[in-house]
Structure 1
């Protein structure tokens, strides 16, 4: 059973990479909604990459892009978010259905009317006759084979587990689609956002940093090597799970919560199980007498932040750094 929980948690984390909801309000549940518009790089294409272009994908396969892609299909949501800021919308043939879900997507408004919506179905993708298909490591091996057997150009991307890897993906995708200059502009925007937060935190010492845990509906948390750990670290917080050397998404026991005694507990704002919500999970924690003395519970710091930010594997992940830092250290952002 424990193994099944870990596997399901891993799958959820890879699809959405742990999620949480907007700069906190002052009410009991500390929840707020937020919307994000796709980044407008506002620069003309100055592509210098020449085609055919041969690059190695995340699986080690050498892929040749014969010409500048004009009919692109993307299944990873993070890649869809990047493409919306990199290429003309007419070049996007299809995107994941999640692009339209404002709870997880940063491009829900901008994506309306852009291309078709597609799932991991080889026949449907082949029917579109795209000149480029972006997939990630979650993709079914049989689907990949069918697409390549149909002579489609399939490029497998790494699923980022930190912001540096997001930037690496942006640079790579920009090169593939002939929009390297736009990719550099987006990366520069990311670095500007990160610097703005870091400038406010630079005088903070380790003993001033607040401790934070995330707690999922599956009873797991995020450790070393996860997007969550990278984001909260950049936001000036300490993740005791990571500090203890636990990797991935270990189960979070009541004893561990008591041991770590976090100052902030972050809950998701999106749930796989429709019967679970921020409110039910929050009440479960606050109603447990054994957790009554936990700092986050005593100080009403069981919170959530925008899920489409913290779960993003695109440029919008930097907004989660800003979200969490503002929640933890509101005085620094006045």
Structure 2
């Protein structure tokens, strides 16, 4: 009899646990009714109650991506260089946004009252944690190292704002453009393939593992830094540049809204006696490609591919200023 009672009591306890568990799950599901979730590159699941109306992204590339997904009035601020035609592909959109930022503090971000903040994983992730602690939805995206990474970021940002269809539209347009370039560069004979070195104000940018290196592959151009085994993040000495001996040198045009003279930096290279033997210097192949394209880590990187091909292979790859891929209805 006692054994039966114990069994019966155990059964009652089990039922209570099950009922309690069901109630907890129901409450959890109810609290999630409405809205949607997105998982960022750190594995953080972010719940959005509705599509965000006040968006802030903390890098130029994510600004440009976002301005291909939503109209300017959905962003509460953008990078200060986004209205500079030398650096940006979205100048008309950026000029509609009054607040310009560089590296805003948490206090500055809170004052803008965003309902979504996008942070690249190379940025200040402590700042992201602080914003989350204050109730702000934060999505961390990948710092791009190639064009595939950029496509992933486009889709992540589209998911974060509840606009997956627009993300897919942008990726389709990117693929279409890349396919078109590929058809043209595939007609260039191997013996006519040229090499290039990017002389950047960032002396450690452009090697293996950079978006620029990936763009060179799509453009059927040899990236001299990569061929020499230099990885992104590693500086290139002038001695190494002489060994690479590229056919073309890409020179900087960055001016920081007219506050910096890049020609001072350029003269250190093109007037250096030790570099006069370079093929690019001897043949006058010193090019200032549009930085808004070749340093681009947004969907507009495809125009960077074409810009590289244009700088080396000429007129068949000519394109206008301000090309921008967008899924925003105009």
- TM-score interval, normalised by the smaller of the two chains: 0.7 to 0.9
Please give the alpha-carbon distance, in whole angstroms, between the structure 2 residues aligned to 1:79 and 1:93: 13
Pairing 1:302–2:286 present? yes
Which residue of the partner structure matches residue 100 of structure 2?
117
Which residue of the partner structure matches residue 79 of structure 2?
96
Which residue of the partner structure matches residue 174 of structure 2?
190
In structure 1, list runs of 5 or more residues that go unmatched: 1-49
Which structure has the higher relative contact order (CA within 8 Å, separation 6+)? 1
Q: How does 1:227-266 map to 2 (within 5 A)?
A: 227-266=211-250
8 A Cα contact 1:68 1:178, kept in partner = yes
Please give the alpha-carbon distance, in whole angstroms, between the structure 2 residues aligned to 1:289 and 1:110: 45
Please give the alpha-carbon distance, in whole angstroms, between the structure 1 residues aligned to 2:73 and 2:260: 39
Shift of 1:96: 2.6
Q: Secondary structure at the match of 2:117?
A: strand
Pairing 1:179–2:163 present? yes
In structure 2, list runs of 5 or more residues that go unmatched: 1-32, 319-330
TM-score by length of structure 2 reads 0.78
Shift of 1:66: 2.4
User: Which stretch has the larger CA shift, 66-75 or 297-306?
Assistant: 66-75
TM-score by length of structure 1 reads 0.77
- Structure showing greater radius of gyration is 2
- Of the three residues 202, 209, 222, the one matched with 1:225 is 209
RMSD across aligned positions (CA): 2.5
Which residue of the partner structure matches residue 4 of structure 1?
none
More helix by share: 2
Shift of 1:314: 0.7
Which residue of the partner structure matches residue 84 of structure 1?
67
Which residue of the partner structure matches residue 129 of structure 1?
113
Which residue of the partner structure matches residue 322 of structure 2?
none
Q: How many residues align?
A: 285
Pairing 1:325–2:312 present? no
8 A Cα contact 1:136 1:159, kept in partner = yes
Pairing 1:148–2:132 present? yes
Please give the alpha-carbon distance, in whole angstroms, between the structure 2 residues aligned to 1:158 and 1:140: 13
Shift of 1:321: 1.0
Which residue of the partner structure matches residue 7 of structure 2?
none
Shift of 1:81: 1.1
Shift of 1:102: 2.8
- Of the three residues 39, 42, 55, the one matched with 1:59 is 42
Which residue of the partner structure matches residue 265 of structure 2?
281
CA displacement 1:175-210 (0-9 Å, x = unmatched): 221222222222222222222221111133444311
Shift of 1:329: 0.9
Please give the alpha-carbon distance, in whole angstroms, between the structure 1 residues aligned to 2:206 and 2:317: 26
8 A Cα contact 1:51 1:68, kept in partner = no
Distance of aligned partners of 1:222 and 1:128 in 2 relative to their CA distance in 1, 3 Å threshold: closer
Please give the alpha-carbon distance, in whole angstroms, between the structure 1 residues aligned to 2:265 and 2:55: 40
CA displacement 1:146-183 (0-9 Å, x = unmatched): 21111110111111121111111111211221222222
Shift of 1:276: 6.4
User: Which stretch has the larger CA shift, 291-300 or 63-72?
Assistant: 63-72
Q: Secondary structure at the match of 1:85?
A: coil
Pairing 1:73–2:56 present? yes
- Of the three residues 120, 123, 126, the one matched with 1:139 is 123
Shift of 1:249: 3.0
Please give the alpha-carbon distance, in whole angstroms, between the structure 1 residues aligned to 2:96 and 2:259: 32
Shift of 1:281: 3.4
